[in-house]
A = this chain, B = another copy of it.
């Protein structure tokens, strides 16, 4: 839901955790969620409602450097990551950042932290744009004291480790746009940024769209390159200067390290992305596409975004059919790109793909060769502390969630047992779209997805316009315009409470509450840097 269509003050309905028994240093935010006022030694601002917080001050400013201190030949290669870290002056307590374009095929994240360990440093903060199961090795480094804690989306084993209260600091989960905001605003100061480059030259120019480990865009590493104190590029595909295109500019880079392999190509991008085969989920996707048509959102020059999940891909497939039938062309579609978006481009159903990350081989081929397939960054697309961004210009976005509640609040981070298992990605940022749609099954493993109150609020209901399930489509009552546009529709539009009750009947009642302690293990930041919710340590014996 676009922020222009609603008030900027929000108070969540009846979600206060109660004033009694509140641990010191916790306050209720504007949604009534208990959040810490200090996170990892820094003051934290509680979420104050959508548009409820205005930043002050100036952007973070990296040091002024001089060409006199860099080789005139442009050759910044050094022999090893250890040597590069040594020259950066790596010391205890520093912040090392990395990016997740290599996804579960990444070899550089752990390699870099292990190289740091070789130098004997302790208590590092690792600041990845996201972590994957391939980064489970960081658990050993945390146990050994090399890494103090992680700020970044924690997927899988690292999320589980955090949930069990094993990490020394609080996890801090930020959206892609929120990570840019935090770096730009100086909330997180990166000492050494590690950039894994599928192609690079010795000057440090980097390109993600070519090379044996090609991953497409490198946008998530851009803020790191602009704002870090030191920048190290790691590549397995060195080309003569100039590396074209330079998604990362060598003028921001201090050192270049060649390695045998930055990642496992098979796990960096999937060969092909696949549409769901579940009849229920296909129905959700088809209904969402029809909703866009019937609400008049699907019109010449419109725009949309959909992720790479099975329902979202099916939605793109069905919407493309409707666009073809109606002779409608989009102005742009937002990636994560897949073969399905590339087909839209090639078939003339959109002028442009604006792509934040590339999910399959067809996406990589397209971004490397088609000038209408344009790499974007979290700055252009998602940063809330800029002069606007692309997300609010998108007419409709189709997203997932682990839970939603009857106030349309949604959770993408924790499961209903309270365990932290997923990152935010661009999910929060995308809610700025004029029509934010959550396309979710009504239950998973016999646990209802629609709850009275979500376990964790990742996004406020105020910004969520539609919850589409296989048992009906709920429209946020705030969106009277949308309800009006869909009056007379043959779509199964129903109040969210009605869908909830039906599913509870099928599943044998409401889902169990998560059994958690009152010890925070992580916080969820909103796009403006405020704390929207807390993740609590799970009760291991619960």
Residues of chain A touching chain B, judged by Cβ–Cβ distance below 8 Å, are 2-4, 8, 51, 54-74, 76, 184-185, 203-204, 231, 240-242, 244-246, 249-254, 301, 331-332, 352, 354, 371-372, 374, 379-380, 383-390, 392-393, 432, 434, 528
Given contacts A8-B68, A70-B387, 13 further A-B contacts (CB under 8 A): A55-B65, A55-B66, A58-B62, A58-B63, A59-B61, A65-B385, A67-B387, A67-B432, A240-B331, A244-B372, A251-B383, A252-B386, A252-B387
Report the minimal beta-carbon distance from A57 to chain B, rounded to whole angstroms. Answer: 6
Of B4, B68, B301, the contact of A71 (CB 8 Å cutoff): B4
Provide the bound-state CA to CA distance between A54 and B386, in Å.
Answer: 32
Provide the bound-state CA to CA distance between A231 and B372, in Å.
Answer: 27
- Chain B residues near A66: list those with CB within 8 A: 51, 54-55, 384-385, 528
Provide the bound-state CA to CA distance between A198 and B510, in Å.
Answer: 60
Report the minimal beta-carbon distance from A210 to chain B, rounded to whole angstroms. Answer: 12
Q: Closest B residue to A70 by CB, please name it.
A: B388
Q: Is the CB of B244 within 8 A of A374?
A: yes
- Chain B residues near A432: list those with CB within 8 A: 67, 72
Of B249, B354, B374, the contact of A380 (CB 8 Å cutoff): B249
Q: Is the CB of A393 within 8 A of B62?
A: no
Provide the bound-state CA to CA distance between A242 and B351, in Å.
Answer: 9
Which of A62, A68, A380 has the largest count of B CB atoms less than 10 A from its CB? Answer: A68
Report the minimal beta-carbon distance from A202 to chain B, rounded to whole angstroms. Answer: 10
Report the minimal beta-carbon distance from A42 to chain B, rounded to whole angstroms. Answer: 16
Q: Is the CB of A4 within 8 A of B72?
A: yes
Report the minimal beta-carbon distance from A395 to chain B, rounded to whole angstroms. Answer: 11
Q: Is the CB of A61 within 8 A of B60?
A: yes
- Chain B residues near A56: list those with CB within 8 A: 64
- Chain B residues near A374: list those with CB within 8 A: 242, 244-245
Query: Given the known A-B contacts A4-B73, A251-B379, A352-B242, are A203 and B393 also in contact in the complex, defined by CB atoms under 8 Å?
Result: yes
Q: Closest B residue to A58 by CB, please name it.
A: B61
Provide the bound-state CA to CA distance between A447 and B434, in Å.
Answer: 69
Q: Is the CB of B249 within 8 A of A74?
A: no
Provide the bound-state CA to CA distance between A385 and B58, in Å.
Answer: 21
Report the minimal beta-carbon distance from A349 to chain B, rounded to whole angstroms. Answer: 16
Provide the bound-state CA to CA distance between A142 and B359, in Å.
Answer: 57
Report the minimal beta-carbon distance from A393 to chain B, rounded to whole angstroms. Answer: 4
Provide the bound-state CA to CA distance between A393 and B203, in Å.
Answer: 10
Of B73, B252, B385, the contact of A64 (CB 8 Å cutoff): B385
Report, nearest first, the 7 A-B pairs whose CB atoms are least far apart: A58-B61, A4-B72, A70-B388, A61-B61, A72-B392, A51-B68, A74-B393
Query: Given the known A-B contacts A244-B352, A249-B380, are A392 and B4 also in contact in the complex, defined by CB atoms under 8 Å?
Result: no
Q: Is the CB of A67 within 8 A of B251?
A: no
Q: Is the CB of A393 within 8 A of B241?
A: yes
Provide the bound-state CA to CA distance between A383 and B240, in Å.
Answer: 21
Provide the bound-state CA to CA distance between A71 and B58, in Å.
Answer: 21
- Chain B residues near A60: list those with CB within 8 A: 61
- Chain B residues near A74: list those with CB within 8 A: 388, 390, 392-393
**A/B interface sample: 22 pairs, CB < 8 A:** A2-B72, A4-B72, A54-B66, A56-B64, A58-B63, A61-B61, A64-B185, A70-B388, A72-B388, A72-B392, A72-B432, A72-B434, A74-B388, A76-B388, A203-B388, A242-B331, A242-B332, A246-B380, A249-B380, A251-B379, A253-B387, A371-B371
Q: Is the CB of A65 within 8 A of B203?
A: no
Q: Is the CB of A64 within 8 A of B68?
A: no
Provide the bound-state CA to CA distance between A63 and B57, in Å.
Answer: 6
Provide the bound-state CA to CA distance between A432 and B71, in Å.
Answer: 12
Q: Is the CB of B72 within 8 A of A64?
A: no
Query: Given the known A-B contacts A58-B62, A63-B57, A244-B374, are A68 and B379 also in contact in the complex, defined by CB atoms under 8 Å?
Result: no
Q: Is the CB of B185 within 8 A of A240?
A: no
Provide the bound-state CA to CA distance between A434 and B73, in Å.
Answer: 9
Report the minimal beta-carbon distance from A67 to chain B, rounded to whole angstroms. Answer: 5
Q: Is the CB of B203 within 8 A of A392?
A: no
- Chain B residues near A240: list those with CB within 8 A: 301, 331
Q: Is the CB of A250 within 8 A of B388?
A: yes
Q: Closest B residue to A392 by CB, please name it.
A: B72
Q: Is the CB of A251 within 8 A of B64?
A: no
Provide the bound-state CA to CA distance between A358 and B390, in Å.
Answer: 30
